[in-house]
A and B are shown apart, each in its own frame.
Chain A
Amino acid sequence: MTLTLGLTSLFLAFACALYASVAALIAGPRKLNAWIDSARNAAILTWPLLTLASLAVIIMLVQGQYQVEYVSDVSSLAMPWYLKVTALWGGQAGSLLFWSWLMSAFASAAMLRRWDRDRSLMPYVIAVSMITLAFFILLCLFVENPFRRLWLSQATGEVNPALFQPANSTLFTPQDGRGGNPLLRHPGMIIHPPMLYLGFVGFVVPYAFAVAALITGRTDDEWIRTTRRWTLVGWLFLSLGLILGGRWAYDVLGWGGYWGWDPVENAALLPWLTGTAFLHSVMIQEKRGMLKKWNMVLIILTYALVIFGTFLTRSGVLSSVHAFAQSAIGPLFFGFIGITFTISMSLLFWRWDSLASETQMDSLLSREAAFLLNNLLFLGIAFATLWGTIYPLISELVTGQKITVGPPYYNRVNGPLLAILVLLMGIAPLIAWRKASFKSLGKLMWIPAALTIPTLILFYFLGAAHPVALGAYAITAFVGYTTLSEFARGMVARMRLGENPLIALINLSARNRRRYGGYTIHLGVVVMAFGVIGSNLFQTETQATLAQGETLSIGGFTLRFDSVALFPTNDNREVTRATVTVFDSSGRLIAELHPRRDFFLDSGQPMTIPGVRSTFGEDFYVILVDWQPIGSTGATFKVYVNPLINLVWTGGLIFILGTLVATWPDADEEKRYAAAPASTLATAGAD
């Protein structure tokens, strides 16, 4: 019953999405308003339908209907109810459905906005978003259907999944499910995929508007203004997803780090990089009427990378690129990316002339030039990352020999590029539009530069006596001070009007959310950069096998192994939990930690949970790697000391806060926009 309802809803949603895209494409050029309204209604309807389909899967998961293949793959009796609910995105089929549901939510919300200003774009926005949605529902329906059941064939005795009952077979109901991947049972992993997916689908909306602008020839800034908030919301969630993913890796994967340049991580980072470049370069288009073609290229690339990213991460399970190529999903995804990319680029070339710049670049030392450099760097990092990710495939294709690159490659290429990018982030906001002079720039920079020197000396005496680290800290500190000086300049101006510093700061940020939200994001990056430099260049590690009562020392800390306990839990885990005591250099007891290893009996997989003592200065991170039965050698530990790692998370919070400030609706801005001379809008719309 639930199954039939869910499957029917999924099918109807597919029909609606198809109908909406076809109707919109036919009615759009002919201006058949009744048909366009009907297409819009169909597009809106996909959301309730997909909500029903997703709810059906959730109900089956919670009820434990293990005759359904997906339910038996990703859940088990021992799981608590909330993990059963979140198992909706714990596997491939479910996460495709979940993606479609989020996509339809964004698309429906976009349909429900006020369209009086840009009605001519609507049919094509409907078409693009609904074609994307239809593609994902298609995968859900015909390739990875979460509603398939298990059937026992009377003839062969084999069990096979199928949507409808095959001849001579009976329904097969396993006693229990397999429980899915235990690594994904972490809170970070429960929230991380939805965030990432929200980020992905968020970028589909600006892309749909961009394509609509190309088709209709309304290539003015309208599509950029309309989608600014959508872009920022998508970007916010993508950033949040990346940060949470890093936190999950740090807490669960037990290798002492948070970012490993894994193909799956890269796949999520790529659209973020091009999306960030886009967010910056649209500012030049709005302000100076330049880079219109470039912005189109960026949003088209971002969309392609979003689909590519979904393809690589859709199940959240780390797998090799090879594994994807085997299923039917691989070719379909690549086909879809290829087709949409070709069509979008053709549209762009078709409208090439109408996207000419209204003004010229004046000087190499100008805000525009700084933005250009920013774009080049972001794209350079994106290209280097993409190249490294697909290098094994390319090398195998070209030479027949599989060659891989690992973290050293990414560190060597992206390290310097990121350092220049951070430096630019500090200087660019000080450079005037059109043409700046070194003299005025020097005036704005000398105080931050002067403050950087004592900061460096402080870092040197705190132990950062490493030339690369000092260089990186110098850049980061300088950028931190320039960004703060921007806040200070604004605040001082307001304080002259009699406001106290706090009120001045609040008013300043509230009056110009875009600008000061952006600076807050920059500050977040600075704080994160301190953490990244510290935890990368000064991480120390050691490992040892200890008998009970024995100790090991690392970085001024002493760890004593006290005991280890083995016990089963009622949710089918076998837990091995060690107790260790940590002392500081003066021999004072500072923490008792419990690194543990959970062995999941239903899936046969272990999960390593570190014991961490976290302070602002550093994390003391202990992993239990191995142990012997009581009475013999004892247990083996791997210990990391990660300096400044908490700044990565703190910076992440500041970053998100800044994005919220920049995204928050600004009544003043809306008013200014509404009062903009109607002539520019009217002429653009009167095609």
Chain B
Amino acid sequence: MAETIATSGTIAAKSGGRMKFIVGGLLIIAAIGYLIYTSIGSTQQYFFTIQELKERGSSVVGDNVRVSGAVIGESIQYDAQALELRFAVANVPADQKEIDALGGLAVVLNVAVNDPTAARMEVIYIGVKPDLMKGEAQAIMDGHIDENGLFHADTLLMKCPTRYEGELPTQAAP
């Protein structure tokens, strides 16, 4: 058939044409891959427990990390004019399964705050004090630790074991 002849006659040209697309495509894919790789490297954020952060010591000073801890109620100091919030947090496990095994978030937070042997860390945050900032709340913070062991939080997210889960409301009169 005419078509087959034409095809065989231009095999070299065609495979060259295909090659162009394959090479071009691969180059683009490689560029996107490289972009993802470098961006992950420069923006990734380690999720540490306070214990882990303390153990790593000076090697993590200045690194952008995420830490979660139990807020110690009596340590909260807030200057509403300067918008400066200082508080201390105690170590809690990061793993959800571990938290569940220990009896849930509320129990874990309560134990952490009352355990004098748990690792602790001072935190400073410039900004508005969140509503849920109170003792035995879980603080999830992004920021960095300085040489003195003070954690500078850039963002602060609070989590409270609410009465929303678990507890049952009162029953209607039958």
Known: A174-B170, A360-B14, A605-B164. A413 touches B28 (CB 8 A): no
Give complex CA distance A626, B78 in Å.
Answer: 13
Stretch in B34-42, B69-77, B113-121 with 4+ CB within 8 Å of A? B34-42
Chain B interface SS verdict (over half): mixed
Q: Is B172 an interface residue (CB 8 A)?
A: yes
Interface bin, chain B: 35 or more
Give complex CA distance A159, B14 in Å.
Answer: 73
Q: Tell me which residues from 601 to 617 in chain A have a Cβ below 8 Å from any Cβ of chain B.
A: 603-606
B36 touches A384 (CB 8 A): yes
**A419 to nearest B CB, angstroms?**
12
Which residues does chain A contribute within 8 Å of B164, judged by CB atoms?
Answer: 178, 603-605
Name which of A373, A545, A633 has the most chain B CB atoms within 10 A of its CB.
A545
Which residues does chain B contribute within 8 Å of A326, judged by CB atoms?
Answer: 96, 100
Known: A361-B17, A362-B17. A606 touches B39 (CB 8 A): no
Which residues does chain B contribute within 8 Å of A408, judged by CB atoms?
Answer: 43
Q: Which residue of A lies closest to B127 (CB)?
A: A543
Contact of A406 (CB < 8 Å), options: B35, B42, B45: B45
Q: Is B134 an interface residue (CB 8 A)?
A: no
Q: Tell me which residues from 150 to 174 in chain B have a Cβ below 8 Å from any Cβ of chain A.
A: 162-164, 168-172, 174
Contact of A625 (CB < 8 Å), options: B20, B32, B40, B128: B128
B40 touches A409 (CB 8 A): yes
Q: Tell me which residues from 338 to 385 in chain A have a Cβ below 8 Å from any Cβ of chain B.
A: 360-362, 364, 369, 372-373, 376, 380, 383-384
Name which of A159, A362, A408 has the most chain B CB atoms within 10 A of its CB.
A408
Stretch in A281-289, A308-316, A396-404 with 4+ CB within 8 Å of B? A396-404
Q: Which residue of B lies closest to A633 (CB)?
A: B80
Which residues does chain A contribute within 8 Å of B25, judged by CB atoms?
Answer: 372, 376
B40 touches A391 (CB 8 A): yes
Q: Which residue of A lies closest to B81 (CB)?
A: A545
B21 touches A369 (CB 8 A): yes
Q: Is A176 an interface residue (CB 8 A)?
A: yes
Give complex CA distance A228, B100 in Å.
Answer: 48
Give complex CA distance A159, B83 in Å.
Answer: 46
Known: A326-B96, A405-B45. A543 touches B36 (CB 8 A): no
Which residues does chain A contribute within 8 Å of B14, judged by CB atoms?
Answer: 360
B127 touches A626 (CB 8 A): no
Q: Is A387 an interface residue (CB 8 A)?
A: yes
Q: Tell me which residues from 378 to 433 in chain A have a Cβ below 8 Å from any Cβ of chain B.
A: 380, 383-384, 387-388, 391-392, 395, 401-406, 408-409, 412-413, 416-417
Give complex CA distance A403, B100 in Å.
Answer: 21
Known: A178-B169, A360-B14, A626-B129. A409 touches B44 (CB 8 A): yes
Known: A605-B164, A626-B129. A175 touches B171 (CB 8 A): yes
Give complex CA distance A322, B96 in Å.
Answer: 7
Which residues does chain A contribute within 8 Å of B147, judged by CB atoms?
Answer: none
Q: Mark A486-505, 1 if CB is under 8 A from B, else 0.
A: 00000000000000000000
**A334 to nearest B CB, angstroms?**
17
A633 touches B42 (CB 8 A): no
Give complex CA distance A176, B168 in Å.
Answer: 10
Chain A interface SS verdict (over half): mixed
Give complex CA distance A404, B14 in Å.
Answer: 46
A174 touches B169 (CB 8 A): yes
Known: A373-B28, A405-B40, A543-B83. A175 touches B172 (CB 8 A): yes
Q: Which residue of A lies closest to B24 (CB)?
A: A364
Q: Is A295 an interface residue (CB 8 A)?
A: no
Which residues does chain A contribute within 8 Å of B94, judged by CB atoms?
Answer: 402
B40 touches A174 (CB 8 A): no
Name which of B29, B40, B81, B163 has the most chain A CB atoms within 10 A of its CB.
B40
**B77 to nearest A CB, angstroms?**
15
Q: Is A483 an interface residue (CB 8 A)?
A: no
Contact of B44 (CB < 8 Å), options: A178, A322, A403: A403
Which residues does chain B contribute within 8 Å of A384, judged by CB atoms?
Answer: 32, 35-36
Give complex CA distance A92, B82 in Å.
Answer: 43
Give complex CA distance A241, B128 in Å.
Answer: 32
A403 touches B47 (CB 8 A): yes
Give complex CA distance A391, B44 in Å.
Answer: 9
Contact of B20 (CB < 8 Å), options: A178, A364, A604, A636: A364
Known: A175-B172, A369-B21. A404 touches B44 (CB 8 A): yes
Which residues does chain B contribute within 8 Å of A403, judged by CB atoms?
Answer: 44-47
Which residues does chain A contribute within 8 Å of B66, judged by CB atoms?
Answer: 404
Known: A401-B46, A633-B81. A412 touches B169 (CB 8 A): no
**B59 to nearest A CB, angstroms?**
13
Contact residues of A with B, CB < 8 Å? 66, 72, 152, 159, 172-178, 322-323, 326, 360-362, 364, 369, 372-373, 376, 380, 383-384, 387-388, 391-392, 395, 401-406, 408-409, 412-413, 416-417, 543-545, 603-606, 625-626, 628, 633, 636, 638
- Which 4 pairs, one residue from A and one from B, show the smallest C-beta to C-beta distance? A402-B47, A380-B32, A409-B43, A412-B39
28 contacts between A and B (CB under 8 A): A174-B168, A174-B170, A175-B169, A178-B169, A326-B100, A360-B17, A361-B17, A362-B17, A364-B21, A376-B29, A380-B32, A384-B32, A384-B36, A388-B40, A403-B45, A405-B39, A405-B44, A406-B43, A406-B45, A412-B35, A412-B42, A413-B36, A413-B39, A544-B83, A603-B164, A604-B163, A625-B128, A638-B128
